[in-house]
Amino acid sequence: MSSGYIRYLLFALVGLAILGFISRSSLPLPERYDSSLLSTKGKGQEPVNTVNTGGTVNTGNTVNTVDTSHQSPAISQPQSLTPSGDRVNATFVTLARNSDVWDIAKSIRQVEDRFNRNYHYDWVFLNDKPFDDTFKKITTSLVSGTTHYGIIPPDHWSYPDWIDRDKAKKVREDMKERKIIYGDSESYRHMCRYESGFFFRHELMLNYEFYWRVEPSIQLFCDISFDPFRYMKENNKKYSFVLSLYEYFDTIPTLWDSVQKFMSASPQHIAEDNSMGFLSDDGGKTYNKCHFWSNFEVGSLEWLRSDAYIDYFNSLDKDGGFFYERWGDAPVHSIAAGLLLKKEEIHFFNEIAYYHVPFTHCPTGEQTRLDLKCHCNPSENFDWKGYSCTSRYFQINDIPKPEGYEKEEN
């Protein structure tokens, strides 16, 4: 090899390294972003793509809960472009019906275009019924990582034996008359209970450490210029959100009573430096109904599988409010995050611009929106409006609100 050729090679390598540094360092990273993130490449774990059927968590699988029929050699998965050492052991997860296929297709397209096309994280789909071929074909074609399809074991999507079904039926009839949203729906209640207590212990989820929940028909308005999974892991975050709001009281009249019962019975699970101030305005006597909107979540599966969370869920589940009222998984997850986690383990992702009907989170800060090629209208940002709880999160954590928030208050 001539020395001229070697010089040329060295020159090209240095040029590429400088270009890479400029493009990474000029993009906005999460607030309070730990700069060590950029220098810890290679520390992430290999994503695990096989299904562990020997897990110790009870998945209730008397039936086969993993559908591998889509994994025909005809559907080829693209090769990973991101070295697997850069990725965290994480997956997207979606609970859906077959009829949701086109609405989830929209969501996947956006998640891929704005983020996952550079990472190829896996995607787990869960359903109380078997997914049909169309669902599997369309979603597998859109996801750049490996797709997995799981069937929910019947005992995770049915009435526990301590529930009085006649009483539950009367509640649904009454809520229908009172026109409470989803008040008459039996399946919505199973869905909320499943998301509250079971999705993280489906056998397909057992191999992963972090999850990102995606629902049908969501929108992402900005590029995601960093890996949120890695951010969570490297900064010791366990739960994250983009939107927060007040819950509809008629769906949860006795939820806080149930939480208080759990707190007295299991004080060892309550974190010392918790976020009670986000949940209650009177030191815990009453619930102010603030919750993180759980249709978007990036969180730790290990936390959800911890004794603290499982004891919390079991205690609430025994009280029957998933069926005798209409407890949503959003307040159930949020109260758990608020009480079982330390304040600093909950993260707000300003940079992830998100819509789920009817609310928008559009990042505050014009430079961030320009850098991330956002197409949301900042005046639609819900964060600083009266019905959002996000200001409380900033207050209790002593974080200054982002510059320009005043302009988005009304």
Q: Is 175 in the site for ligand GDP (CB under 6 A)?
A: no
**Rounded Cα gap, residues 166 and 363, in angstroms:** 47
Q: Is 128 in the site for Mg ion (CB under 5 A)?
A: no
**Rounded Cα gap, residues 66 and 130, in angstroms:** 9
Q: Which of 61, 91, 107, 127 binds ligand GDP (CB under 6 A)?
A: 127
Catalytic residue of the set 297, 325, 345, 351 = 297
Helix axes 255-265, 307-319, angle to 10 degrees: 130
Q: Residue 95 or 142: which CB sits closer to Mg ion?
A: 95
In this structure, which amino acid lies at residue 327?
A: W
**Rounded Cα gap, residues 72 and 149, in angstroms:** 13
Contacting range for ligand GDP; rule: CB under 6 A; set: 132-140, 184-192, 284-292, 306-314: 184-192
Nearest to 39 by CA among 240, 224, 230: 230
Q: Residue 71 or 98: which CB sits closer to ligand GDP?
A: 98
Burial status of residue 119 (CB atoms within 10 A of its CB: 0-12, 13-18, 19 or more): buried
Of 243-302, binders to Mg ion (CB under 5 A) are: 295
Q: Residue 119 or 296: which CB sits closer to Mg ion?
A: 296
Min. distance of Cβ 154 from Mg ion in angstroms? 24
Longest dimension (CA), the chain: 86
Contacting range for Mg ion; rule: CB under 5 A; set: 24-32, 146-154, 198-206, 213-221: 213-221
List C-alpha distances in Å: 148 to 67, 122, 135, 233.
Answer: 7, 8, 12, 23
Q: Is 215 in the site for Mg ion (CB under 5 A)?
A: yes
Q: What binding mask, one character per residue, do residues 79-118 give for ligand GDP by CB under 6 A, x or -?
A: ---------------xxxx--x------------------
Q: Which does 127 bind (CB under 5 to 8 A by kind): ligand GDP, Mg ion, none?
A: ligand GDP
Burial status of residue 330 (CB atoms within 10 A of its CB: 0-12, 13-18, 19 or more): buried
Count CB atoms within 10 A of the CB of residue 337. 27
Q: Is 295 in the site for ligand GDP (CB under 6 A)?
A: yes
**Could you please report the per-residue DSSP string of 230-249?**
HHHHHTT--EEES-EEE--G
Active-site annotation holds for 112: no
Q: Is 365 in the site for ligand GDP (CB under 6 A)?
A: no
Q: Residue 277 or 331: which CB sits closer to Mg ion?
A: 331
- The residues annotated as belonging to the active site are 297
Binding site for ligand GDP (CB under 6 A): 94-97, 100, 127-128, 187-188, 191, 215-216, 295
Please report, as ranges, the residues that interact with Mg ion according to CB under 5 A: 215, 295
